[in-house]
Amino acid sequence: MAFLDVMKSKRIVGLDIGSFALKLVELKPRKKGKSVVYELESLGYEPVPFQSIVEGSIMDSTAVVDAIQHIFYESKTRARRLSFGVSGSSVIVKRIEVQRLSPNEMHEHIIWEARPHIPFTPEEVNIDYEMIESPDISPDRVGVILAAVRKEKLNDYINVVTIAEKEPAIVDLDSFAILNSVLTNYEMYVDRSVAIINIGSSVTNVVITRGGYPVFVRDIAFGGNQFTDNLQKELSLKYEKAESVKKGRPVEGVSPAAVKPVVNLVFNELQTEIRKTFEFYRSNTTEGRIDNILLSGGTANLESITDFFSQAFDIPIEIANPFNSIEINPKKFDLDFIKDMAPVFNVAMGLALRAVGEKK
């Protein structure tokens, strides 16, 4: 029926195109009293063949197109449209302050003010921004988080999505998506200063939020790959074996005692990067307080990661669960899989929330 086709075509999923794996989330919003609750409609996880995406750049489009088609098929979603996110070295994120003008003048004004802060010509990038209301800023000014993504990179992503016969509908920043997932799932964090650290395979996104706004965003070129690479080198292992060892699985000829010091060393490097980021944040804002750290991404599943972080930073640590306030039908989904993999789905959840119109 034509009418139903139209309805179907309106469905949008959140697709996280990660360098290690694709993640898909589709939500169904439902009114409950005055608020809206979200039910999980579809879920998908699809590893990306090794080095098909390297640090956010698509190296093997055919492999990525296949993975997109496969994840849509396996998740059984009826959607064809998707929202996806970008992060890493092709994305520039800056926080600026501009004079407050009337609402209908703000857009042009921000784009104009943004120009000197973006090291590319306007033809090379797409610019997006988010306005921040904060007690740190005088009332006649407004804070702005600027995001610019290189068109070249955006087009590569749009290309693979289109060749996979899907329709790109919304593009967001991975960092904003993670924040959206956290704020929707944890009302208690809306009023606090929280550092969300999403550790993927090649990128670590750090988002500091206060009062429900992103006040600081930085992408660090560091992630789970560094753990695997070092295990490969130090213990002379092939990639697959190093991955297994990292995940705490028994591998013949490798003792856990040999693994620990290598993991510790890489963690120390990550800790240094995060410390630098926190210091940068503190020196750029009047109030540099951080009340909580939330961990996300595949590397948040690394054994003893919360111990590492607790020892390194004297701040309460928690793993961000993107399904915390989402309704899940246990007859339809494997709850054990969801529990094990939860932190991996924060970006896809934020993209799915954006797709159904939820923007915290």
φ/ψ of residue 26, rounded to 5: -125, 135
Candidate ranges 68-76, 102-110, 221-229, 268-276; the one touching ligand ATP (CB under 6 A): 221-229
Question: Beta strands of 133-265 (E only): which ranges?
Answer: 141-150, 167-173, 193-199, 204-210, 213-220
| CA gap 122, 143 in Å, rounded | 21
Closer CB to ligand ATP, 84 or 129, in the complex: 84
Binding mask 143-182 for ligand ATP (x = CB under 6 A): ----------------------------------------
Rounded CA Rg of the chain: 20
What angle, 0 to 180 degrees and rounded to 10, lies between the N-to-C axes of helices 151-163 and 61-75? Answer: 50
Closer residue to ligand ATP in complex, CB, 20/213: 20
Q: Angle at which helices 256-284 and 239-246 pack, to 10 degrees?
A: 80
Residue 44 Cβ vs Mg ion, minimum distance, rounded to whole Å: 15
Would you count residue 200 as binding ligand ATP (CB under 6 A)?
A: yes
State the nearest-atom distance from the C-beta of 288 to ligand ATP, in Å: 27
C-alpha to C-alpha distance for 258 and 241, rounded to whole angstroms: 14
* Diameter of the chain measured on Cα atoms: 68
Task: Tell me if 39 sits within 8 A of 331, measured CB to CB.
Answer: no
- By a kind-dependent CB cut-off of 5 to 8 A, residue 322 interacts, out of Mg ion, ligand ATP, none, with none
Could you count the other beta carbons within 10 Å of the beta carbon of residue 127?
17
**Any contact of residue 71 with ligand ATP (CB under 6 A)?**
no
Say whether residue 338 binds ligand ATP (CB under 6 A): no
Q: Name the minimum Å distance from CB 87 to ligand ATP.
A: 6
Residue 354 to residue 356: CA distance in whole angstroms: 5
Q: Which is nearer to Mg ion, 18 or 322 (CB)?
A: 18
Contact between 350 and Mg ion by CB under 5 A: the answer reads no
- Asked if 20 is part of the footprint of ligand ATP (rule: CB under 6 A), the reply reads yes
How far is Cα of residue 270 from the mean position of the Cα atoms in its chain?
A: 17
DSSP 118-149: SSS-TTTEEEEEEEE--TTS-TTEEEEEEEEE
Binding mask 192-221 for Mg ion (x = CB under 5 A): --------x---------------------
* Only segment of 28-36, 194-202, 213-221, 257-265 that touches ligand ATP (CB under 6 A): 194-202
Dist. CA 120–CA 126, nearest whole Å: 10
Token output for 152? 């070249």
* Site map (CB under 6 A) of ligand ATP, residues 299-328, x = contact: x-xx--------------------------
Structure tokens at 8: 């179907």
**At closest approach, how far in Å is the CB of 191 from ligand ATP?**
27
Q: Burial level of 284, CB count in 10 A (0-12/13-18/19+)?
A: exposed
Amino acid at 196: I
Q: Near ligand ATP by CB under 6 A, which window of 13-21, 286-294, 309-317, 322-330?
A: 13-21
Read off the tokens for 46.
């699809």
Q: How many residues bind Mg ion (CB under 5 A)?
A: 2
**247 interacts with ligand ATP by CB under 6 A:** yes
Q: By C-beta, is 200 or 214 nearer to Mg ion? A: 200
Work out whether 243 is an interface residue with ligand ATP (CB under 6 A): yes
Structure tokens belonging to residue 351: 């993209």
What residue ranges bind ligand ATP (CB under 6 A)?
18-21, 56, 200-203, 223-225, 228, 243, 246-247, 297-299, 301-302, 344
Interacting residues toward Mg ion by CB under 5 A:
18, 200
